[in-house]
Amino acid sequence: MIADPKTIDWQALGFNYMQLPYRFEAHWRDGAWDKGGLTQDPNMTMNEGSPILHYGQGAFEGLKAYRTKTGAIQLFRPDQNAQRMEHAADRLLMPHYPVADFIDAVKQVVIANQDFVPPYGTGATLYIRPILIGVGENIGVEPAQEYTFRIFVTPVGPYFKGGLTPTNFLVVDYDRAAHNGTGQSKVGGNYAASLLAGKTAHEHHFSDAIYLDPRHHKYIEEVGSANFLAFTKDGKTLKTPKSPSILPSITKYSSLYLAEHVLGMKTEETHISIDDLDEFGEAAACGTAAVISPIAGIQYGDHYHVFYDEKKVGPITHKLYDLLTGIQFGDVQAPKGWIVPV
């Protein structure tokens, strides 16, 4: 059933699907994309042989639309999402959906559903989910002959229940992606592989799983569906994992830029051993959905490591959160090109 914006309690939103009136869809046939357009049908039909259904030939993205104090709506670095989808398309032998068309389609869907962009001050946002999938008649393990690009949107609140209240994470033995696999690409297989790890973490009352690198099982990779940030105890350096099997998070690269250019910190993409957590005074998970979510503690085997405080967000994490969200909601001047008005 289509949601009614008048009845939504914006402050109570979690990270859930809500059916909104409009979505965008375009089709690639005979080597070219059609113009695409808005549609009201939330369901998709496709041939039973579609490679997305059997072989997971598909990629997705995640970005948000933010309501500013003046009531305007803006996007945060949508060009970065469009480019990352192009990289995923290259990895899975799919056609590019052009960057300019991607941004234009995002704007069309947001405008069509603008009553569902949450009010400024509620902390909620309109989450935007583009997907690119291989469809059509097929049975062999080979790329599709046809593709569908779709964007739908849904209003969301915090991804991890705590929001800015720290939560705990569990290091698991499962790998989400192989060393030279598809971990760098936002493709469904990585997330299917993460479901059991996530379930294990939730069953033990942790917010999500932490993955170690698939080669040595020693270095931190990802925090569920978010990258890992850690601040050294002297508060001078922000470190984040370097690995070919993690997703290049737009929130992470934005955080590194802000830490360096605004907060005057040193930044490093490096190996972070699960045995060296004592080096850090604060840690966080970062992503479009996760924003900057402080990590209270990490369980690794029998050892439970607490960072700043189990209940309170640390001061540097808080400062970075305020800076990033200040930019996203239009309260703080953004670096050139980061904000796109809708």
Supply the residues annotated as catalytic.
186
- The length of the chain, given as a count of residues: 342
Pick from 56, 287, 314, 330 the residue near ligand COI by CB under 6 A: 287
Task: In whole angstroms, give the CA distance from residue 49 to residue 129.
Answer: 24
247 binds, among ligand PLP, ligand COI, none (CB under 5 to 8 A by kind): ligand PLP
Smallest distance from the beta carbon of 30 to ligand PLP, in angstroms? 32
Closest Cα to residue 176, out of 164, 186, 163? 186
Strand partners, 236: none
Query: Which residue's CB comes closest to ligand COI?
Result: 62
- Using the rule CB under 6 A, is 62 a contact of ligand COI? yes
DSSP string over 136-150: SS--SSS--SEEEEE
Neighbours of 31 (CB within 10 A): 7
**Token pair recorded at residue 281:** 């005074």
Among 288, 293, 317, 328, binds ligand COI (CB under 6 A): 288
Identify the burial level of 216 via C-beta atoms within 10 angstroms of its C-beta, where 0-12 means exposed, 13-18 middle and 19 or more buried.
Answer: exposed
- With CB cut-offs between 5 and 8 Å by kind, which of ligand PLP, ligand COI, none does residue 250 bind? ligand PLP
By CB under 6 A, tell whether 81 contacts ligand COI: no
- Could you tell me the end-to-end alpha-carbon distance of the chain, in angstroms, rounded to an integer? 26
Q: Could you say whether residue 283 binds ligand COI (CB under 6 A)?
A: no
In whole angstroms, how close is the CB of 140 to ligand COI at the nearest point? 29
Q: Which residues bind ligand PLP (CB under 6 A)?
A: 62, 222, 225-227, 247, 249-252, 287-288
Q: Is 188 in the site for ligand COI (CB under 6 A)?
A: no
The site for ligand COI (CB under 6 A) is made up of 62, 225, 287-289
